Structure 1
């Protein structure tokens, strides 16, 4: 894995964003459309090419022109696929609108809180050490946009005004097991998924201050956005294997001009941005985790989550060299 220090984008959930493209290593293009999402349009026909943004992804980034099989590319220290059973969170018909997990309360962003027969949406292990999230094409639309699918836990809890501090070094982490997509060709017509994000709140809206993503082609992408980087920046992009456990640790300072981001994946540092606009002075930021598919899915998308640490001031530096084991409960 190699670092990417900058590269402008317009991240997934920006509303009303201008269309544009980013040139990357040869003829491959990332299209940013009116939805604010980016999609690789390299081999698609009849796609209008828009003007290229001024900040291309650094030439130190991975070679994006080479063919990639994201189902087999992996880092050397990924953990093998575990096997386990999960228990539904519906009680008895619907998942509660708020649940307790991992030492805190969470708001549930899922159609399972409103519709019956959505037992697949959020499931838990026997001792709540692991959660499983899944969205399907057949799910009821989670919001007004017909294609959106969402199965998330949100740190924005009704009645609790607590938000992430700005100008403070925050550490977070999680282990994730993401299952291969049954229809990778069909997923190319979507915007991929977001599986972890620091949302800036309703006062600011738009795309997240920090987002961990799977693109439509399955590649792993990390993006940021700030008050003075409204279009957003791609900080890292590379293949990441499915069906193996990966551990992610991040250290972030939310600040409109002096933000910072460091990210380690499986004990390898992949992002080190010392000073950038990450976050907003008017932001009420909080962390969401799970599966968010802004452009829908063509086949089930599921992932498992464990060893989760909500962003806080306690350092996780030790975890960047010694990853936790995957729970077997």
Structure 2
């Protein structure tokens, strides 16, 4: 792989380069991650570069996952707009002559991503004091980026709100999996009868949560990762996703997070975001949990169907029961 990466990068910078080191990093369910230390002796990129190669491993939790080209475009626009994202360097296309697998090469931003460490370790006590507010402010910046620069993102169907199309897609995935899940059927019916009007269409990150934030112990939020699920939609989608108990971003009954959700909402609104009313906040949190339940089933299905044998994917499926319980807790209050 080292030789292939070196060959690929040399073709992009039109100069000899040296891959000083290459080592694996903890990755996700869609990509393997590799730390790459690169030395470029001459040219516009002359100097040392600390990079990450995000190597595709196939599959997707949702059919809406972006192509590598479109994700690279989103990263480029966000970086140009001043959003805290890793600088995108290159996209590796399928079938490249270098022999390198498809993926993205981006800046390696130093910091921590693991939620457990961010929530518990003394080293991040200073960052925890203001991290939730930073997360809210950064989300407002993301939602303020003009959508006309991102023609690669599909527009909602004419006459329909973005979430109506998403509910149809999620229901299709549930039917394809073919398992009986009465709690999810109940949630789907509940959501379908309460779709709020969409007053504003923005770039939705799609997976905005602890685990996708790089955090510096002193400065707090350094970068937002994993944009492959970004799309055009209602800003409430990201707001509700952050508030899910599963991610531990905000305090929930029996699960302490970074702080009260009102702190997050206030920071988002203070940076120009739209404040949700209680009914809207409830809808989007129920929607987020329903969507996450479908994702967990889909990841397990990748394993059970034989498409990608992986204990990691299989284990994700067990979380569906936890999310179903959370959905029933919400719906019981209505």
User: What TM-score bracket applies, with the shorter chain setting the length?
Assistant: under 0.3
Relative to its length, the structure with more helix (as a share) is: 2
Q: TM-score, normalised by structure 1?
A: 0.24
Larger RCO, structures 1/2 (Cα 8 Å, 6+ apart): 1
Relative to its length, the structure with more strand (as a share) is: 1
Larger Rg: 2
